[in-house]
Chain A
Amino acid sequence: KNEVEQSPQNLTAQEGEFITINCSYSVGISALHWLQQHPGGGIVSLFMLSSGKKKHGRLIATINIQEKHSSLHITASHPRDSAVYICAGARSQGNLIFGKGTKLSVKP
């Protein structure tokens, strides 16, 4: 079993739809990162969470420490949101353990 698992692997949405990507993680991980990787390959850090909820624009990330689960929501999705979204758990020294990513495609 992978230490960080996310779902779904692929997601196609229509512009304007509300999107949710889920991530479950194992013991030993107490901070969760959400990353975005565009087709060109670059990785951007979206959120780092250790508790509660964070919001940035149309993106919302939540974490439930007891259930070891995090979600990334995108409201009013747009074609420019099309990317791979990666959930990563942080170890004690900060190094990351990555999920396999969710490839999101938003159609106009």
Chain B
Amino acid sequence: DSGVTQTPKHLITATGQRVTLRCSPRSGDLSVYWYQQSLDQGLQFLIQYYNGEERAKGNILERFSAQQFPDLHSELNLSSLELGDSALYFCASSVGLTRQETQYFGPGTRLLVL
């Protein structure tokens, strides 16, 4: 158990819908990263927050948004869903911002868009 929690574990929805994925980092960790794992693209970085502020952005679509709340949990919002958004979404947390820190991964949310 990494100490990072994600809900829900599974999500099935239809095209055009909007969903919210939630992540609670390990106690004491200030950085939260969101990653997407799809069959064709593999694992890719979406967005990073540190202590409530966005710090880095990767291949995140405009239909997707995220935020980190004062209690440090984070939410990833996916809207106008398309079939291609079906993927495993992971969040990870680390203590700070440096590149030399271990990241602890949550169990992931498996999203299926029908």
Contact = CB atoms under 8 A, between A and B. Distances in A.
B108 A48 contact: no
Interface string A21-55: 00000000011010100000111110010100000
A90 interface: yes
Contacts of B45: 95-97
Contacts of B94: 94
A98 interface: yes
A91 B50 CA distance: 15
Nearest to B104: A45
Contacts of A31: 99-100
A98 B92 CA distance: 14
Given A41-B88, A86-B43, A96 B101 contact: no
B105 A44 contact: yes
A93 interface: yes
Interface string B81-103: 00000001010101011111111
A96 B48 CA distance: 10
B44 interface: yes
Contacts, number: 69
Contact size class for B? 20 to 34
- Tell me the dominant secondary structure on chain A's binding face: strand
Contacts of B90: 43
A21 B96 CA distance: 29
A106 B35 CA distance: 28
A100 interface: yes
29 contacts: A30-B99, A31-B100, A33-B103, A41-B88, A41-B107, A42-B105, A43-B108, A45-B102, A45-B105, A48-B100, A48-B102, A50-B99, A50-B100, A90-B99, A93-B48, A93-B55, A93-B99, A94-B33, A94-B48, A94-B96, A94-B103, A95-B33, A95-B45, A95-B56, A95-B58, A97-B45, A98-B42, A98-B43, A98-B44
